[in-house]
Chains A and B, each alone.
Chain A
């Protein structure tokens, strides 16, 4: 099915969970990002239960703790 991940259209398997998507997309650790699904931030505890649907738009919003 078609999804848009960080602005790029991608074909992913049916019923892919957010947690699985993070692995597929090579995110180092689920703790490093906030995941936005169709404009709404997904609760971190729901990554495994939340499955993507055709046409979904996903953004990985990375934590950046530096500044000094």
Chain B
């Protein structure tokens, strides 16, 4: 596939970049990424992946744009209030980069639809606002051997990790969702809007690194940052035996007949070097 003159210009800073180049840019144009959530995290994730020329972007979100979203959900504008988030996002992306095909899913992911939806993608990025969906995406990706990045934010802090088959997953660290009400949500405790940008761009970067096959992913590592102190910590984590979907109280329970445990302790399948805590 040859680049058009327009594409050579559009992606010139990638094509120049050692580690991407023309070959990497072609990989991005052929890649299929599912972004779960078109909110605070999904906005920068989708915008940067679209700008980078990731050719096929699935975007899942059942909600419509509200005025209170605009403080951080930068893909949506004031004139979008009341519109479906996936349609609002699709319009911005079409304007940003016509090379990108957006596949909108105006629906909530559940145990019935998630395996089918994620099956069409190379990589999944999760940026939702609730623990049941975080665990559902985790478990579905584990069951599907699907690499994914997970992210969460609260107040002035962010947290993210990347999973590839065989590595530690979200459930290896957080065995079960916290009891309802025990951990405040952003709608209860607030979040500095720019935190969504800080974490979302890390998530987009992890996605691009995975697609390009470069660098060391946050695999078997979990990253935390606190924007008030501007301290970042990366903590090594490892797969745990308990992280089977059967141990969960999420909807993925219905799929427990799968034989693949959530965290396969086959060390040979672990991916990437482990970084020291910093």
Q: Which residues of A contact B (CB under 8 A)?
A: 6-7, 29, 31-32, 34, 36, 39-41, 43-44, 59, 61-68
Contacts and interface: CB of A to CB of B under 8 A. Distances in A.
Interface residues of B, number: 45
B183 A67 contact: no
B154 A64 contact: yes
B39 to A, nearest CB: 3
Contacts, number: 100
A68 B178 contact: no
B228 to A, nearest CB: 14
Interface string B116-137: 0000000000111111001000
A48 B73 CA distance: 41
B73 A68 contact: yes
Contact of A67 (B128, B224, B236): B128
Interface of B: 37, 39-42, 63, 69, 73, 126-131, 134, 151-154, 157-159, 172-176, 178-179, 182-183, 185-186, 191, 196, 222, 224, 233, 235-238, 240, 242, 277
Given A7-B277, A67-B153, A31 B159 contact: no
A5 to B, nearest CB: 12
B173 A34 contact: yes
Given A32-B182, A62-B224, A67 B233 contact: no
A39 B128 CA distance: 27
Contacts of B128: 67-68
A68 B236 contact: no
B222 A61 contact: yes
A29 B129 contact: no
